[in-house]
A and B are shown apart, each in its own frame.
Chain A
Amino acid sequence: MTATPTLDLEPAGPPPAGFGLDGKRRRVADGAFRLAALASGLSVLAILLLIAVSTSQKALPALRQEGIGYVTGSRWAPNIDVFGALAFVSGTMIVSAIALALAVPVSFGIALFLSEFAPRRLRHITIYVIDMLAAVPSVVFGLWGLIVLAPWIVKIYDWIADKVDPVPVLNILFGKPVNGRSFFTAGIILALMITPIITSLTREVFDTVPPGQKEAAWALGATRWEMVRGAILPHSRTGMIGAVMLGLGRAMGETIAAALVIGSSARLTLHLFSSGDAMAAVIANQFGESGGLHRSALVAMGVVLFAMTIVVNMVARAIAGKTPSAAPVRGRR
């Protein structure tokens, strides 16, 4: 994109007087700066390489012992060195799915609002709201979720469980809760946290729709919604998918808010109102006391989680050219 100036920057003769360093010293200083820049770039590679090597090394003993059983086994028993992480992988997926199910429609709605529907003043206010949502640290969401949301939302879970009791599939998903610490509560908190990123990425996509398309829709007498459906959405589909995938990547890596409200039970279940566990939260909870093979198994879990996140981010990149670090700064923690 940025074309290099192709002019020769090393003039044959000495530069005009008073223009800074002369000849050789200038070349040395120039070279030194280039070297510094190159070294910084290489340091990124070096750090990543170090992370990859060090974590894989630590993870190997556990993975070698369990083989594929590490992700397909559902028995996690550190006291006898049996490590099957299926319950946690499933937990991560369930919580992420809930978070997406809640966050995606809302984020798309807000993005549309900002792009097409909002009068100017409301747009500014909404942008502030989204910025604030992005600024609240994950641990604060977790604190609020644990102390305020969980005790209150149990009543709603109870009500839902009563209502869907006779319905065949739903009564498995939405069975009676024990307390507010559950997959669903974690999903709600995560949804709040990933909304800003999905919203801003989607809005960027909406803003790139060629105005001609929109004007054509207006000219044909479309209502605003019809214009959106006809001109904006078809154009933005891949971008929207990319935004969703990046949101998914963030949700999967979320450690702290999930750890506080998910309930910490190693359980393989589809019961959304039950407590469970997710990979990142398990690592945070068990790492301190782990040693030997147990620690190796936890590092392996980190590796698996990292791998899953990479896959999701690569898919997002492939589909929509969206990348996680280009997104507005908002942590997955």
Chain B
Amino acid sequence: MAVPSPIDLTSTNVQRSRRLRNHLATSFVYGSVLVAAIPLGFVLFYVAKKGAGVVDLAFLTKDIPIVTRLPGPGMGPAIAGTLLITLAATLMAVPLGILAAVYVTEYGQGSRLAGAIRFLSDVMAGVPSIVMGLFIYTIWVLRFGQSAFAGALALGALMLPIVIRSTESMLRLVPNALREGSAALGASRSRMIMTVVLPAALPGITSGSLLAVARAAGETAPLLFTIGAARAVNPNLFEGSNAALSTQIFVNAQQPFVGAQNRAWGAALTLIVIVLLLTIVARMVSRRFTLR
């Protein structure tokens, strides 16, 4: 918004103390950006430097070595596992979350049920991720064993409230005129939602969901007890242990052996790249396609 240009402050009309305070505040504000950017820079620098020394085609494709002390590739199964588990979680959480948000905004406004759903999805957003992992371990793993699916359940449960709320806020932004116009043409509620409202909100919903996916890809705690520790690629979603980049980083970070630590850095670089790609695509979708 347009701000009228301030009165010339450099003139001696302004007392020195006021000018000084202004300078201090400005420095503080610029300084805080630096204080956030510098550690970030260090983190990215280290991950890039140490990871780049390790990541190559062999690293991306070979199995996780059995003997943890030795250096050498790779993390192939962890990459495959992360993608598989995250994809499964997304397929479960996103449609469910979108539909739930549709109910809350389109069918249930003002109703107590909708209010309860909104409140409870906020509560669910506050569940610590480790608790989600414990929960899935207790009700699923103890019965069916560790698997990629168990991990996907835990991740999906974490993603669900995020998808619901971001979809809800996108749906709210759709102008009522669109809904009213559609109703005036005789469309049923469901048809209106599917052909008018959802498409209008789609860019926002997509970007919100992609951000939820990016977050899920980096989660560690829910996977610790639910997926086990596979060393080779396991494409089977429901049976057998699997691996994930996040859990591999966690385990290898605590080893004193350089070989293991290097694999952790390589996995960290790969994971950051994946998460970054998802985040960038999300922002691009949001910026390019949003109705203004």
Q: Which A residues are within 8 Å of any B CB, using their own CB?
A: 1-5, 7, 9-11, 15-16, 19-20, 26-27, 29-30, 32-34, 36-45, 47-48, 50-51, 54-55, 58, 105-110, 112-113, 117, 126, 129-144, 146-148, 188, 192, 195, 199, 211, 214-215, 218-219, 221-226, 228, 249, 252-253, 255-256, 260, 280, 283-284, 287-288, 298-299, 302-303, 305-306, 309-310, 312-313, 317, 323-326, 328-333
Contacts and interface: CB of A to CB of B under 8 A. Distances in A.
A288 B8 CA distance: 66
Given A30-B190, A137-B272, A41 B114 contact: yes
A333 to B, nearest CB: 5
A41 B103 contact: yes
Contacts, number: 341
Interface stretch (B54-62, B64-72, B180-188, B234-242): B180-188
Interface of A is mostly: helix
Contacts of A332: 128-129
Given A325-B161, A328-B211, A329-B208, A3 B279 contact: no
Given A48-B123, A141-B43, A225 B22 contact: yes
Interface in B1-45: 1, 3-4, 6-7, 9, 14, 18-19, 21-22, 24-26, 28-33, 35-37, 39-40, 42-44
B291 interface: no
A2 B109 contact: yes
Interface of B: 1, 3-4, 6-7, 9, 14, 18-19, 21-22, 24-26, 28-33, 35-37, 39-40, 42-44, 46-47, 96-97, 99-100, 102-109, 113-114, 116-117, 120-132, 134-135, 137-139, 157-158, 160-162, 164-166, 169, 171-172, 176, 179-180, 183-191, 193-194, 208, 211-212, 214-215, 217-221, 224-225, 246, 249-250, 253-254, 261, 264-265, 268, 271-272, 275-276, 279, 283
A109 B188 CA distance: 49
Given A109-B33, A144-B43, A221-B7, A44 B272 contact: no
B47 A133 contact: no
Contacts of B7: 218, 221
Given A135-B275, A306-B127, A310-B126, A147 B261 contact: yes
Given A223-B18, A305-B131, A306-B127, A45 B116 contact: yes
Contact of A249 (B37, B107, B126): B126
A140 B107 contact: no
